[in-house]
């Protein structure tokens, strides 16, 4: 909630500054609504056991750890002012799956496979700047900061056809960051279409171990995302 208030304040402050700095481009100033979809073309495979020495069943190794369904839909509101666009965006990832192959713990015990499910959202304040304009389109760069929330619903390991639950439900909040670039092209007097490629860091999702209570196992929620946005100006 605090970040939401901060983001609204920063959005309005940024708009005020841009209005003062871009008086020559006032004819290009307008509010807009946006809808977007993004999917990860690369995602981190980093994982760690923070309390390894205190857990007899701590994970030692995974085969082929990776994300599945690392996608998000978003809605935003923003202001275009000359070459600048300032957005406040809410992103919903639904359920992201972290899947692993053969896994070995300290016991030692070997599992056949495993899966962790993370429900993630992100609220981000984002600024774009048109580096190069061509015809009616533009090449732009983007930077953003926000707050992400990761809810770990379940985490299981499979051994000989039996599922072993090793996580209690948990929520974690992190500062998120983004940088990227894209192309914008008008599709009408009131709408434009953007294609983007961003690197986003949404912090870490953690597992509360069901037996010890430690927030021990963690993965990095980082991705390079390809996305498309439709903006309607009014």
Question: Domain residues of the chain, as ranges?
Answer: 2-233
Instruction: Give average pLDDT by consecutive 10-residue segment, the chain, 234 residues.
Output: 51 49 55 98 94 77 97 97 96 97 93 96 98 91 98 90 85 96 95 98 88 81 98 96
Q: Kindly report the number of other CB atoms within 10 A of residue 118's CB atom.
A: 26
Contact in structure between 113 and 101 (CB atoms under 8 Å): yes
Predicted pLDDT at 179: 98
Please name the residues in contact with 203: beta carbons below 8 A apart, sequence gap of 6 or more: 148, 150, 172, 173, 174, 175, 176, 220, 221
CATH value of 2-233 in 2.40.128.640, 1.10.357.10, 2.40.160.20, 1.20.1440.230: 2.40.160.20
- Residue 176, judged by CB atoms within 10 A of its CB (0-12, 13-18, 19+), counts as buried
| Cα separation, 5 vs 210, whole angstroms | 35
Q: Long-range CB contacts (< 8 A, 24+ apart) of 105-111? A: 105/56, 105/57, 105/58, 105/59, 105/60, 106/52, 106/55, 106/56, 106/57, 106/58, 106/60, 107/56, 107/57, 108/60, 109/57, 109/159, 110/159, 111/157, 111/158, 111/159, 111/164
Predicted pLDDT at 47: 96
Contact in structure between 70 and 91 (CB atoms under 8 Å): no
- Give per-residue pLDDT as tens, 35-82: 999 999 999 999 998 876 667 778 999 999 999 999 999 999 999 999
Say what the pTM is: 0.85
Predicted pLDDT at 135: 82
Owner of token pair 């004819």: 27
């Amino acid at each position: 909630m605090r970040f939401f208030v901060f983001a609204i304040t920063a959005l309005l402050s940024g708009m005020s500054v841009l209005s003062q700095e871009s008086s020559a481009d006032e004819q290009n100033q307008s509010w807009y609504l946006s809808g977007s979809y993004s999917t990860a073309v690369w995602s981190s495979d980093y994982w760690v056991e923070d309390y390894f020495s205190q857990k007899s069943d701590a994970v030692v190794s995974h085969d082929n750890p990776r994300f599945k369904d690392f996608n998000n839909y978003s809605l935003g509101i923003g202001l275009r002012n000359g070459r600048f666009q300032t957005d406040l965006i809410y992103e919903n990832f639904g359920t992201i799956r972290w899947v692993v192959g053969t896994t070995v713990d300290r016991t030692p015990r070997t599992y056949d496979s495993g899966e962790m499910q993370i429900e993630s959202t992100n609220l981000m304040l984002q600024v774009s700047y048109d580096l190069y304009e061509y015809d009616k389109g533009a090449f732009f760069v983007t930077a953003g900061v926000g707050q992400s929330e990761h809810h770990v619903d379940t985490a299981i390991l499979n051994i000989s056809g039996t599922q072993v639950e090793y996580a209690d439900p948990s929520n974690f909040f992190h500062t998120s960051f983004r940088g990227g670039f894209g192309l914008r092209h008008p599709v009408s007097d009131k709408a434009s279409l953007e294609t983007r490629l961003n690197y986003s860091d949404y912090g870490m999702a953690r597992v509360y171990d069901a037996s010890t209570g430690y927030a021990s196992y963690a993965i990095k929620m980082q991705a390079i995302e390809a996305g498309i946005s439709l903006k309607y100006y009014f």
